[in-house]
Amino acid sequence: MTEPAAPNDLISKLVATVPDVLYRINYRTGQYEYLSPALEPMLGYAVGEALASPREFTIRLLHPDDGDRINREVQDHLEKKTSDPLVVECRMLHADGRIVWIRDCMRFEWDNEGLAAANGIMSDITERKRLEEELRSLSLTDDLTGLYNRRGFITLAQQEIKVAHRLGKGMMLFFLDFDNLKTINDALGHHVGDQALIDTAHVLKHTFRESDVVARYGGDEFVALTLEISENSELVLAQRLGENLANFNAASQAPYRLSVSLGFAHYNPEKPCPLDDLMVKADRSMYDNKRDHNHA
């Protein structure tokens, strides 16, 4: 009859099958009392490297952009002197240089002398973070053009306006309507109309700066929010857009010409207004320009 495994041996075998990293830190000595072997497949380091110098090892692993935040969260939790678990999510640097997202659930132990130890378990949540980012991107971007969609534009534009107001910076909102999309769809098919919208988006990306918020707001409507960098910024950008459209049309073999009607509105930080009001002004400006062009 086989003798049962000793408790410690059994625990070691069980722990070895767990993909998460289990650990215990003695806060009196600053040393790990235990660190499970899952560290190496998760972060690329042998347990011995961490045990040799725990503090330096932790600093080396933690992404520099997350260090201050994690320290604040830990200190705030420690001030409560509670045995409730603290859960943090942060980026760590794998031995090969890639970023690994970690969920660290730790529970602190206290005794009469104060903080004694911490037990924790670290899980790799990189795939979850990737999926979250993918879903966030899908919910804020337009499938056809790759620009922001209406939701993405409103979300980001509201943030940009808050920053502009705080810094006392002016902004401009451009409202663009693609001319004759219905004619293209009816005569050449919706797939050609879709390509015309994609080409327009490409021109807009080259007209505005990477820091500007450019979006497909509706079926044939585009918007762009940009920082006002000079007194005549709207004229400069309108001219640049016209040149870029003309260059595309001259070089393209497509059975259509790109043409847009453009309107704009200024955001004055000294007389702030909601994004909705700015949109109405830019939309009205665009239709006024379209009417004047059609009557010319």
CATH number at residue 215: 3.30.70.270
Q: Are residues 276 and 151 in the same domain?
A: yes
What is the phi/psi pair of residue 275, to 5°?
Answer: -60, -40
Among the candidates 130, 164, 179, a domain finishes at 130
- Of 105, 130, 155, which residue constitutes the final position of a domain? 130
Whether 146 and 225 map to the same domain: the answer is yes
- For range 15-44, the mean pLDDT: 89
CA gap 51, 34 in Å, rounded = 9
The pLDDT-based confidence of 263 (bands split at 50, 70, 90) is: very high
| Number of domains within the chain | 2
Here the tokens at position 150 are: 């209406």
Domain that holds residue 54: 7-130
Give pLDDT tens digits for 244-255.
999 999 999 999
Distance CA 161, CA 50 (A): 46
CATH number of 52's domain: 3.30.450.20
In a domain, 100, yes or no: yes
HEC secondary structure over 236-254: HHHHHHHHHHHHHHHHCCC
Q: Return the SS3 of 33.
A: strand
Same domain, yes or no: 156 and 91: no
Query: How many degrees, rounded to 5, is the angle at CA 144 between CA 173 and CA 215?
Result: 10
Query: To which residue do tokens 């899952």 refer?
Result: 38
For residues 204 and 106, state if they share a domain.
Answer: no
Please indicate, yes or no, whether residues 147 and 26 belong to a single structural domain of this protein: no
Tokens of 205: 């990306």
Structure confidence at residue 138 as a pLDDT band (50, 70, 90): confident
The mean per-residue pLDDT over the stretch 182-194 comes to 95
Claim to verify: residue 120 and residue 147 sit in the same structural domain:
no
How confident is the model at residue 210, as a pLDDT?
Answer: 84
Distances (CA, A) of 45 to 13, 48, 138, 238: 20, 8, 35, 55
Residue 13 shares a structural domain with residue 111: yes
Give the pLDDT confidence of 105-121 residue by residue, as tens digits: 999 999 998 999 999 99
pLDDT confidence of residue 105? 92
Closest listed residue to residue 90, CA positions, set 119, 118, 70: 70
Query: What is the per-residue pLDDT for 6?
Result: 46
